[in-house]
């Protein structure tokens, strides 16, 4: 079976609103279209006022006592909420932890390439996880690996402010550290 790696569009999280006859409480706090408070009314009185102005009675905040309802055109109200949700989705960026593998015997050029990658990831808002795998006799001198990690961090901190999420630690045959942009 073939695995699809396409990103599918996710549905926006827009809360469901009760309107008109579906509001099941005896009293509600009513707001007009501009958001001015009209006071606490019986549900029948609020529905009559909504019909009189040819608007919908929309329950905005059901958790307070009495619930807050607004006199508004529901289609326009729903459109505004969808628009706000789309803007929030655009602004929201999930931070990922990007891995950058170094070695004890890394050359200056390779280190510069890794620094450019790390800078790109950090500018995008992601975190970076540096990883050095110690092989064979390298396990005897992990201090060299810690030195490479510190050198990488110092060169990167010259270009931008860094925050250390996880200090360099040795776990089995790996030295790892996590950095993020301040």
Domains of the chain: 20-91 (3.10.20.80), 97-181 (3.30.110.10)
Cβ pair 180, 127 in contact under 8 A: yes
Taking only Cα atoms into account, the Rg of the chain, rounded to an integer number of angstroms, comes to 28
45-69 residue pLDDT tens: 999 999 999 999 999 998 998 999 9
| Predicted local confidence at residue 85, as pLDDT | 86
Cβ pair 100, 128 in contact under 8 A: yes
Vertex 140: Cα angle to 137 and 146 (nearest 5):
110
Kind and range of the H or E element at 39? strand 37-42
24-46 residue pLDDT tens: 899 999 999 888 999 999 999 99
Residues 6+ away with beta carbon under 8 Å from 17: 58, 59, 60, 74, 77, 78
| Predicted local confidence at residue 16, as pLDDT | 84
| Predicted local confidence at residue 51, as pLDDT | 92
């Amino acid at each position: 079976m073939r695995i699809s790696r396409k990103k599918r569009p996710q549905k926006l999280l827009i809360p469901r609103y009760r309107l008109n006859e579906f509001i099941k409480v005896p009293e509600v706090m009513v707001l007009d279209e501009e958001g001015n408070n009209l006071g606490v009314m019986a549900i029948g009185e609020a529905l009559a006022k909504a019909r009189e102005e040819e608007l919908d009675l929309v329950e905005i905040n059901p958790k307070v006592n009495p619930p807050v309802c607004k006199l508004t055109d529901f289609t326009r109200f729903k459109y505004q909420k969808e628009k706000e949700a789309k803007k929030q989705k655009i602004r929201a960026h999930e931070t990922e932890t990007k891995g950058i593998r170094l070695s004890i015997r890394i050359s200056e050029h390779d280190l510069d390439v890794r620094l450019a990658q790390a800078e790109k990831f950090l500018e995008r808002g992601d975190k970076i996880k540096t990883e050095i795998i110690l092989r064979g006799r390298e396990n005897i001198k992990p201090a060299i690996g810690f030195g490479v990690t510190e050198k990488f961090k110092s060169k990167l901190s010259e270009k931008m402010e860094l925050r250390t999420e996880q200090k360099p630690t040795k776990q089995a045959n790996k030295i790892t550290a996590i950095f993020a942009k301040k």
